[in-house]
Homo-oligomer: A and B are copies of this chain.
Amino acid sequence: MKSDIEIASQAQMKPIRYIAEKLSLTEDDWEPYGHYKAKLSVDLLEKLSDRPSGKVILTTSINPTPAGEGKSTVTVGLGQALNHLNKKAIIALREPSLGPTMGIKGGAAGGGYAQVIPMDEINLHFTGDIHAITSANNALAAFIDNHIQHGNEMHIDPRRIGWKRVMDINDRALREVVVGLGGPGKGIPRQDGFNITVASELMAILCLAANLQDMKRRIGKIVIGYTYEKQPVNVEQLGFEGALTLLLKDAIKPNLVQTLENTPALIHGGPFANIAHGCNSVMATKLASKLGDYVVTEAGFGADLGAEKFLNIKTRAAGLEPDAVVIVATIRALKMHGGLKKDQLNSQDLEALNKGMENLKKHIETIEQFQLPFIVAVNKFPADTQEEIDFLTKWCEKHSVEVSVVDVFAEGGQGGLDLAGKVVRLCEAKTTSLHYSYELDDPIELKINKIAKKIYGAGGVEFSSKASKQMVQMEQLGYGNLPVCMAKTQYSLSDRPEKLGRPKDFTITVKEFHPSVGAGFIVALTGDVMTMPGLPKYPAALNMDITEEGVIKGLF
């Protein structure tokens, strides 16, 4: 089979004008960025507010493994398949970060015949949104150190600055740094560190903002640190919310592209799914629901992280709820959850598969708790045997769980027709409504206990002494009613990445909190959560190239 970049570069792309016209957009509603990308007007959502909203389908998955689950691929394939059924479907995805692209992943735009295109541009700088966030984030950091340098009127305690600089690259050497060295003309020395851009609170804000002015309001509320008197200092007090909003005025406009089958796709915002909520922007998802009859959207990592935050955080900010949930699983990944190593996955192993089903079962129970209709999508890989697939589908039938085997990677939308048909019926038959895991006025400790027990299946939660103190402080500061954004490893239901399958009787340890007041949530950090990834010994970048004829290599 051809590589992703080969398939993508041989695609019959339509000019973006054609996609925009298919969505009945007028000239004022969009701006071209090259011939195959567009930004939609920041006012479009307001303009369409009277339209009825289409159905929202959320794609999530089991806990990710190195075997690959293909959640984005299924999301794109399902969107394409819905169009085969003459449903007007739009895909809403996150923007890929350059860090993982240059490092391990080599790209993140679906795969095979279920990709969004132009794949190379989406994976590289796209329309510049992430770069705008990097600029705004680092401008704020410079403004803070500059304020201290020029007399520190606000009494900011340099030891209590929470606002970190960012880069959209995996650079472990920047995790812990000392800045401001070199004497009085070069700032005040202090310990600092860099996050990857997609972990910036500004990214979360852009994704949760209702519109430009709401973004400005949220930016003003960002707590950048504390004074020597331990009072929070926010951006509004420093006076930079206008400049930062100006820097993000185009980044907030949703981006329109297409899939290999010319299905419209909005790709906008890409917050990290550990320190942030891991979903594409509220504006893009809502806009997609106004422009189409069906929106297929995705939340980061497994249902314990991405879907939990989509459902408890994003739906609250957006005022929307999914009409159906798709839980993506692969035979390979389930076998890894059942104990196999990555090099053992190519031969049939029903015992490992059976054991690994426990991971899927937990995520099914989780979605049931939210009282949402759902279906399991088995994303087919070449080495899967018919017996393994039969085992999985029979298991589902036995447990009265809807299931569909898809092969959108090899067949595009055609490979997801069964799934699409079943999803349409699920949406139409929906009678329940979203049941949150916690109430906003639950105390912070109770919120976290509810998430840990209901969603992760934990026995309990422990709080470090630092975290316990911070909980009291945050409730005193009035942040107690915000939702909690859990920062936890994506690999396990627990906070220990090596515990695959369905761990039992474990405790979640909350080490510390970080209030993201602008984004509107409190981050609870568990285990060893990395907010600046590192590169492997041989980064994907080593294989990247562009030839004299303009042929691009090494993206996948």
A172 within 8 A of B: yes
Q: Which residues of B contact A216 (CB under 8 A)?
A: 546
A178 within 8 A of B: yes
Q: Which residues of B contact A546 (CB under 8 A)?
A: 212, 216, 242, 245-246, 249
Q: Are B175 and A178 in contact (CB under 8 A)?
A: no
Q: Are A34 and B31 in contact (CB under 8 A)?
A: yes
Q: Are A124 and B242 in contact (CB under 8 A)?
A: no
The segment from A68-76, A140-148, A486-494 found at the interface with B is: A140-148
A534–B188 alpha-carbon span in the complex (Å)? 13
Q: Which residues of B contact A250 (CB under 8 A)?
A: 121, 124-125
Q: Which residues of B contact A543 (CB under 8 A)?
A: 242
User: Which applies to chain A's interface (DSSP): helix, strand, loop or mixed?
Assistant: mixed
Contact of A239 among B32, B537, B542 (CB under 8 A): B542
The segment from A126-134, A273-281, A418-426 found at the interface with B is: A126-134
With A34-B33, A135-B131, A150-B537 already in contact, the answer to whether A243 and B172 are too (CB < 8 A) is no
With a 10 A CB-CB cut-off, give which of A131, A179, A180 has the most chain B CB atoms.
Answer: A179
Residue of B whose beta carbon sits closest to that of A121:
B250
Q: Are B124 and A142 in contact (CB under 8 A)?
A: no
With a 10 A CB-CB cut-off, give which of A132, A165, A185, A246 has the most chain B CB atoms.
Answer: A246
| Chain copies in the assembled complex | 2
Q: Are B145 and A172 in contact (CB under 8 A)?
A: yes
A146–B539 alpha-carbon span in the complex (Å)? 9
Contact digits for A209-252, partner B, Cβ 8 Å, 1 yes 0 no: 00011001000000000000000000000011011011101100
A174 within 8 A of B: yes
The segment from A379-387, A432-440, A548-556 found at the interface with B is: A548-556
Q: Are B142 and A548 in contact (CB under 8 A)?
A: no
Contact digits for A162-185, partner B, Cβ 8 Å, 1 yes 0 no: 000101111111111111111001
Name A413-458 residues within 8 Å CB distance of B.
none
A365 within 8 A of B: no
With a 10 A CB-CB cut-off, give which of A151, A178, A541 has the most chain B CB atoms.
Answer: A541
Residue of B whose beta carbon sits closest to that of A241:
B545
With A31-B34, A34-B31, A150-B537 already in contact, the answer to whether A173 and B179 are too (CB < 8 A) is yes
Contact of A245 among B121, B165, B180, B545 (CB under 8 A): B545
A213–B546 alpha-carbon span in the complex (Å)? 9
Sample of 24 A–B contacts (CB below 8 Å): A32-B32, A42-B550, A124-B250, A125-B247, A131-B132, A131-B134, A139-B541, A142-B170, A142-B171, A145-B173, A149-B172, A172-B185, A172-B187, A173-B179, A173-B180, A176-B186, A177-B179, A177-B180, A240-B542, A242-B543, A242-B554, A243-B541, A243-B544, A245-B546
Residues of chain A touching chain B, judged by Cβ–Cβ distance below 8 Å, are: 31-35, 39, 42, 98, 102, 121, 124-125, 128, 131-132, 134-135, 138-139, 141-143, 145-146, 149-151, 165, 167-182, 185-188, 191, 212-213, 216, 239-240, 242-243, 245-247, 249-250, 534-537, 539, 541-546, 548, 550, 552-554
Besides the known contacts A125-B135, A143-B539, A185-B534, 14 further A-B residue pairs in the complex with CB atoms under 8 A apart: A102-B139, A125-B247, A131-B131, A142-B171, A142-B173, A143-B535, A173-B186, A174-B179, A177-B177, A212-B546, A240-B542, A242-B544, A243-B544, A246-B546
